[in-house]
Amino acid sequence: MKFAEEGNIDDLEAKVAYTGLCCYCGACGGFCTEYIRYENDIPTTDEKCYELHGACFDFCPRTFLPILEMEKEVLGGVRSDKDLGYYTEIITAKASDAVINEKGQDGGVVTALLTYLMEKGEIDAACISKNSDEEKWKPEPFVATSKEDILAGAGSNYEQCPTIIGVANAIADGKESIAMVGLPCHVQAMRKIQLSDYFDVGGSKVKYVIGLLCTETFDRDLLLAKLGELGVKIDDVKKFDIGEGKFKIFTDGGEITEKISAMKSCMREGCTFCYDFAAELGDISVGSIGAEAGWNTVIIRSETGKKLIDDAKKAGVIETKAMADDKIELVRKLASRKKTGNLKKIIEAAGAVKILNLAVDPSEMDLLL
């Protein structure tokens, strides 16, 4: 990568872990189990590592992210849409199988595509998130190797999952053809791993990168406290969802809602620095905004993504429809809202920007340009 920077675990700690930028994607610790472990969802070390340039720094999406260069390399194009990134098509789709459609968070497209790839023998592992057996609703990286496994991970968990650890585990386990599902941060990390000039950890074994649209994830302790305020026990929750400006909690006793604006206090700090809503480097990106109930919004970006959607449609695994322009505009609006809000935080944290000898506070750039 042209804009690559070098650094080690000390730099990672100073620049990312202790500044609140860490998104807990799992990219640093997943491929360096010898030195890195996670404590309170940030990387830490017990032993001194003497590498001057580490994979931990190279793979982290929060150390450096040459997004336009990466977009060109991965997707073969340059964006004309600032909010959604490079894409060739936006459609709406749903799983044809009623069980998958029902079990999936929205239209079940992600689960349908993964089971299709697995049953066709195109992949031998799907790296997804699954709720812990020990702690209710705690998401954990999971390497699915069967349709049953994939179904067990269906549904959205609004906490952060260090999904890249699952990818590292799948590669370590000898898996040769992997699909991964991740939030924008996971997708960025996966692409950095694949594009690294210095470290080959087997990233090319990941053949399909399925991104999820994402506004934010919630900090577990803050979410549990919020549920307490709302009188909800985590053990009773059957499903969480976000839609129509509300955070929805489904229990046997009924549906409890909270305004999404009131959930901002539960947001993980690392998410406030994220400048990607639409998982801009995925082969496809999947969400719900703009789609009717029981359907997904699908952004097709790469040739791999296009072929996957066309093949799955031909095989009858998914149904698709064109997406109306006003619905696509809703997706764009939500992306823009996230980016505009988070850019303020990024600028505040950045301090002066230096271009050759010219140093200027980013908020005052318009005074010069």
Ligand X SMILES: Cc1cc2nc3c(=O)[nH]c(=O)nc-3n(C[C@H](O)[C@H](O)[C@H](O)COP(=O)(O)OP(=O)(O)OC[C@H]3O[C@@H](n4cnc5c(N)ncnc54)[C@H](O)[C@@H]3O)c2cc1C
Cβ 337 to ligand X shortest distance, Å: 10
Q: Compute CA distances 282 → 13, 83, 286, whole Å.
A: 27, 15, 9
Cβ 135 to ligand X shortest distance, Å: 14
Cβ 190 to ligand X shortest distance, Å: 12
Cβ atoms 302, 283 nearer than 8 A? yes
Closest CA to 281 of 189, 360, 346, 359: 189
Nearer to ligand X by Cβ, of 329 and 364: the residue is: 329
Q: Compute CA distances 284 → 5, 29, 89, 209, whole Å.
A: 28, 26, 10, 7
**146 contacts: CB under 8 Å, gap ≥ 6:** 118
Cβ 20 to ligand X shortest distance, Å: 18
Closest CA to 60 of 79, 84, 32: 32
| ∠ CA 291-288-194, rounded to 5° | 125
Task: Say how far apart CA 328 and CA 339 lie, in whole Å.
Answer: 17
Q: Which residues sit at the interface with ligand X, rule CB under 6 A?
A: 104-111, 128-129, 139, 153-158, 161, 163, 181-183, 212-215, 217, 242, 286-289, 296
Task: Say how far apart CA 249 and CA 59 lie, in whole Å.
Answer: 35
Nearer to ligand X by Cβ, of 17 and 23: the residue is: 23
Cβ 83 to ligand X shortest distance, Å: 13
Handedness of CA 243, 245, 250, 253 (dihedral sign): negative
Nearer to ligand X by Cβ, of 15 and 191: the residue is: 191
Nearer to ligand X by Cβ, of 9 and 178: the residue is: 178
Cβ 127 to ligand X shortest distance, Å: 9
Task: Say how far apart CA 335 and CA 340 lie, in whole Å.
Answer: 9
Nearer to ligand X by Cβ, of 45 and 257: the residue is: 257
Cβ 37 to ligand X shortest distance, Å: 20
Nearer to ligand X by Cβ, of 57 and 111: the residue is: 111
Cβ 218 to ligand X shortest distance, Å: 8
Nearer to ligand X by Cβ, of 182 and 202: the residue is: 182
Nearer to ligand X by Cβ, of 65 and 274: the residue is: 274
Long-range contacts of 5-8 (CB under 8 A, 24+ apart): 5/57, 5/63, 5/64, 6/52, 6/53, 6/57, 7/53, 7/54, 7/57, 7/58, 7/63, 8/49, 8/51, 8/52, 8/53, 8/54, 8/56, 8/57
Give the residue nearest to ligand X (CB).
Answer: 287
Closest CA to 350 of 361, 366, 337, 364: 361
